[in-house]
Structure 1
Amino acid sequence: MTTPIPTRRDALRLALLGATIPALARAQPGRGPVRLVVPYAPGGTNDVTARLLAARLGEGLGVACVIENRSGASGAIGAGEVARSAPDGLTLLYSNEVHPILKLVQRGVPFDALTDFAPVIRTVSIPYVLVGGTRTDQTTDPRALLDAVRRTPARFTFACSSLGSVGHLGAAALGQKLGVEVTTIIYRGSGPAVNDLISGAVPLMFAPVGAVLPMIQGGQLRAFAVTAPQRIASMPDTPAMPEVGQPEMLFEGWCGIWGPRGLPEERVRAVHAAALNALKDNEVVNRLAAIGCTPIAESTEGFTRLLAAEQARGAAIVRAAGITPE
């Protein structure tokens, strides 16, 4: 058999490969697959956006990226597992805006969100919408609905994806604005909460748009108002809260990636770069847009500052709404 003589192009490819391998090796967070721990049940926006990013994130790191759902205790079980893991980059947390304020609303949280984790990057912004099931006889008019909640709050239990979620704080804040006490039911993620909303077991929910948009479009749920300053592109026919007389009811969810405390800076930079590239991928951007989410291009330093600000804002909302840790 004759061995082909390498061409100049072959030599160039080999040279480029040789330069790439050491760089990739430096970027890899470890020798095994990366566990991306989602502390909520499958089906919610936290889980869905993690799965949209996982493959591209793994490609950027040069290793497989495996989603592991560790739901329970409003995200504390999965987050606690990451906090206890070795800071080698092989175990990361993919959580949401609940993480920095969970200790304010839940007893016995075994970690401090600001000191026991290494922030990496905030990934997506998530709009929220006030929705209700279509199996109930409630009005279709948002102003009339809010008036009914004011007059007869006992009829309007709110489903919440977890303690400290936008749904939880949103329901509490709405009750405060209307001058009534509302009842909330806490679930293990958006998926189970939405299922009960559809069945009619609970009448209302402040839900992430991505978790409920297909059901709204399919007629299983009714949208009343988005918790944004103005209407959003994925739901142009749904009014914003300022349009229905509630200009202060503005809430936005988000997701992000953390490592355990002590994660080396080079690992943080590698995961941040891989996530940022994943968030620029056209397919990822389009699929996120389809569920109403927007990629966030933010530095690790910016994410760290936001976490402290979110914790302070959450503490103010909790105090004003009279929420006590459960």
Structure 2
Amino acid sequence: MTRRFLTAILALLAVGLVAAPAAAAFPERAVRIIVPFPPGGSNDVITRLLAQRLSEIWKQPVVVENRAGAGGNVGAEGVARSPADGYTLLLAAPGPLAINPSLFQRMNFDPLKDFAPVALAASVPIVLAVNPQVRATSVAELIALAKAEPGKLHFGSSGAGSTNHLAGELFKTLAGINIVHVPYRGAAPAMNDLVAGHIPFMFDNMPAVRPQVAGGRIRALAVAGASRSSLYPDLPTMAEAGVAGFEASAWFGLVAPAGTPADVMKVLVETTAAVLKEPGIGARFAELGAEPGTVSGEAFGQFLKAESEKWSGIVRAAGLTPQ
């Protein structure tokens, strides 16, 4: 009887009539989100808000790990080379996801091939800000200062290839001025030096700029996007301030290693998209000057391709050569 029973079970398994054990629900353990820049910047702040909410929903820790270096390439490469199981993710600015292939001669990963798109997490305006000691209360006055002393005015950024860096290069090109780029290992160190007066100005993301403006530690001159910010409705755009054709904005995107299983990607995409639609998250992002992303999955993949083409054009227009 036993032999007959076993024979029957084996026969059923052979033709697939006995279901295999169901796969465990994702996630079963802690998830890591790598931020490829130092703590304190806009990327870091947005990631921590998202991670906290995902942790509450998944009932598993979602740990944020800062892994800076090479304009975001160090952290991004680490995620690209991680196991494709959904437990190590990257939440990055355009640098490592769309810009760096145009600025680095050698990269050990391909942003469009080595990552699976999860969601556009947030978009944020870029703001031109100066140290209060700078004798410029408008964009026109800052341009005049730069023209009076060519090569003497420095601007900081979160690193070579960042949107903040390229916004400065675009300013240099369109305004016809000679200014010098000072790259930092992240936006927070650059902002610290701006506040301290070690650099006169920089372009930075709204979430990092707003508290410093509120405290009177820096002065905002203009927003770099196509329209004014609701947080600073009296602040002109760069185009309105006299720099025709100027438009630059920042965003943060969540990706997983390419090859992550479809069922895991489904959880990542659907949960993240749902979180970004929550009124509470929208309100928290708005307080920072950010807007939740509205595209996910393959739509976000198409967004990344379009951004890569856009920023490569800006790199060429600025005359930057790959390092």
2:113 to 100, 110, 115: 115
Listed as ranges, the matches of 1:105-184 within 5 Å are 105-134=103-132, 136-184=133-181
CA distance in 1 between counterparts of 2:172 and 2:254 reads 32
- AA at the equivalent of 1:36: I
Deviations, residues 174-197 of structure 1 (Å, cap 9, x unaligned): 111122343111111110110011
CA RMSD of aligned residues (A): 1.8
1:205 lines up with 2:202 in the alignment: yes
> Is the CA contact 1:133–1:198 (under 8 Å) kept in the aligned structure 2?
yes
1:297 lines up with 2:297 in the alignment: no
1:241 lines up with 2:238 in the alignment: yes
Query: What is the TM-score when the length of structure 2 is the normalising length?
Result: 0.89
2:261 to 259, 264, 267: 264
More deviation, 177-186/256-265: 177-186
Deviations, residues 131-184 of structure 1 (Å, cap 9, x unaligned): 0111x3322122221232234332321101122212111111111112234311
Listed as ranges, the matches of 1:72-83 within 5 Å are 72-83=69-80
CA distance in 1 between counterparts of 2:86 and 2:101 reads 25
The aligned counterpart of 2:18 is none
CA distance in 2 between counterparts of 1:94 and 1:23 reads 30
- AA at the equivalent of 2:107: V
1:56 lines up with 2:53 in the alignment: yes
* 1:202, distance to aligned residue in structure 2 (A): 0.7
1:314 lines up with 2:311 in the alignment: yes
Residue 98 of structure 1: SS of its match in structure 2? Answer: helix
Larger Rg: 2
CA distance in 1 between counterparts of 2:225 and 2:244 reads 9
CA distance in 2 between counterparts of 1:130 and 1:105 reads 23
Judged with a 3 Å threshold, the aligned counterparts in structure 2 of structure 1 residues 23 and 58 are, in CA distance, closer, same or farther, namely: farther
* 1:24, distance to aligned residue in structure 2 (A): 11
* 1:267, distance to aligned residue in structure 2 (A): 1.5
More deviation, 170-179/54-63: 54-63
More deviation, 183-192/86-95: 183-192
The aligned counterpart of 1:282 is 279
Deviations, residues 198-249 of structure 1 (Å, cap 9, x unaligned): 1111111110011011111111001010012222111123111122112311
5+ long unaligned stretches in structure 1:
1-21
> Is the CA contact 1:129–1:226 (under 8 Å) kept in the aligned structure 2?
yes
- AA at the equivalent of 1:238: L
CA distance in 1 between counterparts of 2:232 and 2:24 reads 44
CA distance in 2 between counterparts of 1:82 and 1:248 reads 36
More deviation, 76-85/101-110: 101-110
Residue 322 of structure 1: SS of its match in structure 2? Answer: coil
* 1:316, distance to aligned residue in structure 2 (A): 1.2
More deviation, 80-89/239-248: 239-248
More deviation, 151-160/301-310: 151-160
Residue 240 of structure 1: SS of its match in structure 2? Answer: coil
More deviation, 174-183/158-167: 174-183
Query: What is the TM-score when the length of structure 1 is the normalising length?
Result: 0.88
1:187 lines up with 2:190 in the alignment: no
Residue 125 of structure 2: SS of its match in structure 1? Answer: strand
> Is the CA contact 2:43–2:252 (under 8 Å) kept in the aligned structure 1?
yes
More deviation, 259-268/120-129: 259-268
> Is the CA contact 1:82–1:260 (under 8 Å) kept in the aligned structure 2?
yes
> Is the CA contact 2:143–2:177 (under 8 Å) kept in the aligned structure 1?
no
